[in-house]
Structures are given as C-alpha cells and as structure tokens.
Chain A
Amino acid sequence: MMQTVAIFVGAYRELSARKIFWLALAISLLVVGLFACLGINETGISFLGWTFESPMFSTNTTSPETFYKLLFVNLGVDWWLGVLSTLLALVTTCGIIPDLVAPGSIDLLLAKPITRSRLFLTKYCTGLLFAALQVFVFSTASFFVIGLRGGAWEWALFAAVPIVTFFYSLLFSMCAFIGVLTRSSVASLILTLLAWTIIFTINISESIVNSGRIANQMEATKIESELANTENPVDEDKREELTGDLEKTLANRPTWDRAHFWFFGVKTFLPKTTDTLKLLDRWLLDGASMPSRNEESERGPQQAFGPKRVKRGEFQRAVKADEQSHSIWWVLGTSLVFEGIVLGLATVIFVRRDY
C-alpha cells in the first residue's frame, strides 16, 4: 500500500508540474462558468444580460433545471468530457508509460521490492487519475451551477466520474500498450488517436447500418399492414406501387442484415466508447429525471434518414429501444474484455522485457 500511495502521490506531482494539467482544469471551469452565464427566460436564452429569442427554449417550454441538465449532458459530457477534455488528457498522459520504461528511470523502480506487473498496472491507474480529477472538478462545478441556477441539487451528475473515467481507461489502455511497445510518447498519442478514430467510425457505421436495418424492417411491416388493411383497402394502382416497394424493401433486407452482422460482430470485440458515454445518459436520465437527447431531438427538425412510411418519432423510439436492448453489462463487459486483453498484453511485454 505504501508503494501504491507513493506512486500515486508521484503521479499527482507529475501532473501538477505540467502546465497542460492546469490549463485543462481552467478550461473545464471556464466551460462550467459559461454554463452559469447562460440563462433561460420567458422569451428565450439569456447570456450576460442579452436575450436571444428562441421558440424552442424558454421557460414556457423548458424549466431552468432541465435547461442546465441538457447543457451538462449534451455539451458538457458529450463534447467537453467526451472529446476535448479526453484529447487534452491523452496529450498529458501519453508520456506516462514511455517515461516509466525510459532508461535510467525504469532501473530506479525495478530495483525496488515491487513486482513488475503491480508497478505497471499502478502506473496505468495513475494515468486515469488525470481523467478522474478533471471529470470530478467539472461535475462538482456543474453540480453547483445546476443547484444554484437551476434549483436542483442533482447528485446523479457524479455518475459522470466513473463513466467518463472508464471511457478514458479504454483509450488509455491502448495508449499504455503502444507506449510499452514503442517507448515513444508521440507514437502512443498518434496511434491511440488513430485507434479511437477507427473505433468511433466503426461504432457510427454500425449505428447507421442498424438504423437502416430497422428502417427496412419497419418499412416492410408498414407496407404489409397497409396491403393487409381490409377496413381501408388500397386501390389497384396503389397496391401495385406498394407491392413493388415491398419487393424492393425485402430485396434490400439481406444486404442490411449482412452489413449489420459484420459491423456488429466487429464492434462486439472493440471497446464501446460511444455506448459507454451513452450510459451516462441512461443513468442520468433515470437518476436525475432529465430529458434524453433522443426525446429532445424528437422536437428538432425532421431527419432525412429513416423509413418513408413510418413516423419519425416511432422510428427513433424503435432505434433507441434496439440500442438499449444491449444491457449495461454487454457494453461494459465487452469493453472490459478488450481492455483486459490489451492491458494483459502490455503487462506481459513489460514484465518479460530486459531494460
């Protein structure tokens, strides 16, 4: 325990010695400060005394509490913590493992009575300290903003700390693996960002393909029900058109199914970065009674993508239901398996190498 504490204290000193750590923290507080400067009134959204009229956002449609929670979820978590803060965290921490295995540095630690695997995994955990501290500060500041400006003291916001830290751990495990393999901070950063982009692309592609598959199914069901409707039978021309559409829709189904099978198969073995952050929506929505992004987007403009004959809201609910059919344990479990394999490989390399 003494060694673990020493390594964590050392990691904190290392982080606090880096300007980027304080910069990221300052930006975090600035983002929350901006949230606090935003307000909502009868006519629209206010910012430092100016009011921007909005038919969608006003106290007539949205309560201040809901407004601030939406800001936290949609901007704070999805964009700041999920993208920008994560990038800063990767830039800051990508050197932790390469610095650990650097000649002259590793000798000092391996000569101590600590097993190599424990040393490596503890160092890995210190990398997560950065993300955890950033999210904690951001969540705490948001907690007070929502409490003071929105009038709701929402403890469920702190669920962001473990979820975003876990999300970051998925990326940092790859960073650690590349770091121990190449001993280069730059290579760790670039290759991790590349891997993140690939994973993100596969996740989005799977999501699009899945939406297409569901749209295809709903479209076919809708046409079939229209054709089978005896109370309100369609005329012959319409029947012919519907039959043609049904044939086309059914002909496309194997393609959608096959594409989804492959994308979903690949996704299953990869970390669920996007789904992990979406867990926060699930938890916060259940815990904090906040409107979901999907429900919110239902009030937004019509999307071009989707089945022609099915109502948009119905389609979105079906997509959301399908997404949420994957349990939290599937999202976390498969991601953990990936992280475990990557970290395991990194640990084996670290343990077996001569320095």
Chain B
Amino acid sequence: MVSSPNAINNSAIDLANDLAIDLTDVHKTYGRKIRALQGVTLQVRAGEIFGLLGPNGAGKSTLVKIMMTIVRPDTAKGTVLNRGVGDPVALARIGYLPEHHRFPTYLTGRQVVEFSGAMSKVDRPTRKKRASELLDRVGMGDWKDRPLSSYSKGMRQRVGLAAALVNDPQLVVLDEPTDGVDPVGRREIRDLLIGIRDEGRTVLLNSHLLSEIENVCSRVAILVQGRLVAQGTIDELTSSSRRYEIVVEGSAPAWCAESASVRMIPAGQMLSAGIPGESCRLVFLGLDALGAQPILDRLRSEQRTVIAAQTVRESLEDLFMRAVTDPTTGLIYRPGAAT
C-alpha cells in the first residue's frame, strides 16, 4: 500500500528503551528572569499512569507544553515516544487535553472529536467510527449531536477526553482532566484512565488532586520551582517515612528506650480513636510487618497486651507537603517559578 507523502503512519511507535517519555536537562526561562524549568529530567515508562505534581507555578504546565510544542524550550534533550521533542510522527500518536481548553462552542461534540482526529491525520471513516465509540465511552452518547454551547463544564471535559483519544494515542497527556467534573464523573474518568492504561497506553496526568493521583498513578514526579525534587513510585518515595506502630497497654518497655529507631509516645498522647488511654505507642522507624514480628514476640513473652499493630507510611499529601517545604526554614516555598 502506498501512502501519500503527507500522511503519517499511525501504527504504534516501537519504544526501544521502554520509556514513553525520556527527557533530560529541560530548561526554560521566560523573558530574562523567570526560570520556569531548571534542568528537569523526567522518565515515564510505557504503559503506566504517571502523575506530575507540584504547587502553582512549579513548571508542570510548561513541561507539558514543551512536550506538546506549545512552548519552545531553551534546551530539551531526550525523546517523547522515541522521537525528538516536537517530532510530527510522535505528535500524531499523542492525545492531549490541555487545562482550560476552549473548543468552539458552535461545534457539536461529534464535530469536536472528528476535527481533533482530522488534525491528527486520522482518516475519515476511522475518525467517524471512533468519535461515536469514544463519546459513548465517556458518557456523552446522547449529547454528541448537540452544540457545545449547551454543555456543562464537566460535559466539555468529557468531550475533550474523547477528542484526546480519537487518534488511538500511545501516550495520553492530560492536564487537570477532572477539572469541573462532579464526583461521579471523576470516578468514571478515573476508571477510564485505568481502562486506557490497561489497553497498553501511557498516561501522563497533571493534577492538583493528590487523591486522584494516588488512586491511579503508579509513579509520580514532584516539581518545585522548576526543579524535579522527587520521582518514582509512591512506595519508593514514601519508603523513608515507613514505620511500624505498636500500641501496648501500660507504659513503654525499658528496652525500647535503648533503640534509637524507636520513638515512644506515652499514655494519653496521640492515641488513635478507640484505644484506651492507659497505653503507649511504640513507633519503629523503617520497619515493616515482617521485621516487627520479633518485637511483637518479645512483647507477648513479657505478657504485654498488644492493642494495635500496623505498618504506617506517609500519604501522598504528606510526601507532597514535605517536598514543597524548605527543610532549612521549615516554611513552604513561595508559589511561582524561580526568579
């Protein structure tokens, strides 16, 4: 089969190194002073949902816009879908939903999705078929032939998601996809994201909603003032805060005081609801359930009553707050890019 010279081959791009996004040393300065990105390195594996986190003005949107060629970087090494940044072949295989998108309101949902497909060089029969399927999939099947002017914000968001998927993308980049969507819709979008990941696609999710990221993302990166301060799985990033907590009746055993990794919280303080007041909490830093078994055995051998025992680790919110806090001053970094 001979394709036209203008056509882009829409077959999947082979990701030799298994990375959908592999960017290094991304710099961007707006004007002369605002350093939006300062040497960011980001790796997103194929087939995962990756969360991009950061406070306002941290550079998340700039990074996404650089990948999508909306912003021109000062420097950006590496690849997106195994191609240079801005390569049209890669762009044809990316689905993108920007934050605060503005689709023409005189178009119907179907027309928006079909236009998006045409701009991604999806042939007419395919984009017509996919438009119907995707609008049904995002719950807009009954509204697809009505103009966007009659849609709510959440409905436009759903249509935007369908438009981002019309080119059968290998990589889906979503900037605040649940913005303006009600809780039921959020749940549906979350299920949709999991569904598209299960189809083998990679999702880069830029969201302020930490619970949303925590629920669906296998790996995250945190950007603060244009620098990447953390990147990895949530487990990896919170491992340093991992601890094992045991609540025992009475005062703390004397041998616990000898261990540097044990914090003892006396009776009456920081006890969970439902735990009697005449007890204390032993916090074993860096310990998991397996490592805690000998301690539990010793406590039982000493006839101590173990009221509760559990592995505790930081939530994503705790991790995020730790990342955006200056360790020297203990103050949260000012919002915005570095100047």
Which A residues are within 8 Å of any B CB, using their own CB? 1-3, 5-7, 9-10, 13-14, 17, 102-115, 352, 354-355
Contact = CB atoms under 8 A, between A and B. Distances in A.
Given A104-B98, A108-B98, A5 B104 contact: no
A112 B104 contact: no
B69 A111 contact: yes
B68 A107 contact: yes
B333 interface: no
B6 interface: yes
Interface stretch (B88-96, B193-201, B278-286): B88-96
B32 interface: no
Max count, chain A CB within 10 A of own CB: residue among B71, B92, B118: B118
B107 interface: yes
Given A13-B104, A14-B106, A108-B116, 6 more contacts: A104-B101, A107-B70, A108-B102, A111-B70, A112-B116, A354-B71
A354 B30 contact: yes
B118 A355 contact: no
Interface string B91-125: 11010101011111011000100011011110100
Nearest to A355: B70
Nearest to A105: B102
B72 interface: yes
Given A104-B102, A107-B68, A113-B91, A2 B96 contact: no
Interface in B119-152: 119-121, 123
Contacts of B121: 2-3, 113
* Interface band, chain B: 20 to 34
- Chain B contact residues, majority secondary structure: loop
Interface of B: 4, 6-8, 30, 65, 68-72, 88-89, 91-92, 94, 96, 98, 100-104, 106-107, 111, 115-116, 118-121, 123, 163
Of listed B65, B92, B102, B107, residue having the most chain A CB within 10 A: B102
A102 B72 CA distance: 17
Contacts of B71: 354-355
B104 A354 contact: no
Contact of B70 (A6, A106, A352): A106
Contacts of A110: 68-70
A110 B86 CA distance: 10
A200 B102 CA distance: 38
Contact of B102 (A5, A10, A14, A102): A102
Contacts of A5: 118
Contacts of B6: 1-2
A112 B102 contact: no
Contacts of A113: 8, 88-89, 91-92, 120-121
Give 9 nearest A-B pairs by CB, closest first.
Answer: A104-B102, A6-B118, A17-B106, A113-B88, A107-B98, A112-B119, A111-B68, A113-B91, A111-B96
17 contacts: A2-B6, A2-B7, A2-B123, A3-B118, A6-B115, A10-B104, A14-B104, A17-B104, A104-B98, A105-B102, A107-B70, A107-B96, A108-B163, A113-B89, A114-B88, A354-B30, A354-B71
Contacts of A3: 118-119, 121
Nearest to A103: B100
A104 B100 contact: yes
A14 B112 CA distance: 12
Contacts of B163: 108
A104 B115 CA distance: 16
Contact of A355 (B65, B89, B92, B102): B65
Which of B72, B111, B115 lies at the interface centre, i.e. has the most chain A CB atoms within 10 A of its CB? B115
Given A1-B4, A6-B115, A103 B68 contact: no
Contacts of B101: 104-105, 107-108
Nearest to B68: A111
B82 to A, nearest CB: 15
A6 B119 contact: yes
Contacts of A9: 115
A105 B103 CA distance: 7
Best-buried of B4, B88, B92, B121 by chain A (most CB within 10 Å): B121
Contacts of A103: 100, 102
Contacts of B102: 102-105, 108
A115 B98 CA distance: 19
A115 B86 CA distance: 10
Nearest to B123: A2
B119 A354 contact: no
Contacts of B70: 106-107, 110-111, 354-355
Nearest to B119: A112
B44 to A, nearest CB: 17
Nearest to B104: A14
Contacts of A7: 119
A215 B276 CA distance: 113
Nearest to A351: B72
A114 B4 CA distance: 15
B72 A354 contact: yes
Contacts of B65: 107, 354-355
A25 B4 CA distance: 38
A56 B121 CA distance: 62
B119 A109 contact: yes
B106 A114 contact: no
